[in-house]
Amino acid sequence: MEGTEKTLYDRLGGVFAIAAVVNHFSDNILENPTAGKESPNPVLRDWSNNQLDRLPGLKFMRTLWVCAAAGGPQKYVATRPGQTPMGLENAHRNFRISPEEFDAVAGELKRSLDHFGVPDEEKNEVLGAFMAHKDEVTAGYRAAAA
């Protein structure tokens, strides 16, 4: 495959490297004062303190999302247990995630990418893919504030 540019998925090291970053990132969000166990947002605070039995599944879904967004062979479909597929907006609507909370999560993602020494080019591509969904993920907050 000479002359073929590697996908972001390949440049990140594939599913195992991506899963390691997602694992670190997901654990660190719990301790983030804006988006985790002490969050001013009661829904995020409740999830981070009382629904940790769902964390392994969330890590799995986040790994699928990053793999798919990076051009890997995995397919991501957002769902709620027992429900049909949904977009990121509906998957996050009830959390009423504010732009500040979203940015705090993005900061944790950046710290996790840095922790694993992901080069700037790849780190910026991952963060760009994440940030591209800010409006969708914060739609529930904006709707509640309107």
Domain containing 50: what range? Answer: 10-145
How many folded domains does the chain comprise?
1
Cα–Cα nearest to 105, from 24, 8, 18, 36: 36
Cα–Cα nearest to 18, from 132, 113, 133, 120: 113
- What length is written for the chain? 146
Determine, yes or no, domain membership for 112. Answer: yes
Q: Give pLDDT tens digits for 45-66.
A: 999 999 999 999 999 999 999 9
- Mean pLDDT split into 10-residue runs, the chain, 146 residues: 82 98 98 97 96 94 95 86 68 90 98 98 97 92 86
Determine, yes or no, domain membership for 128. Answer: yes
Measured distance CA(18)–CA(73) in Å, rounded: 13
Q: Which residue is it, tokens 């002490």?
A: 38
pLDDT given at position 2? 58
Give yes or no for a contact between 79 and 60, defined as CB atoms under 8 angstroms apart: no
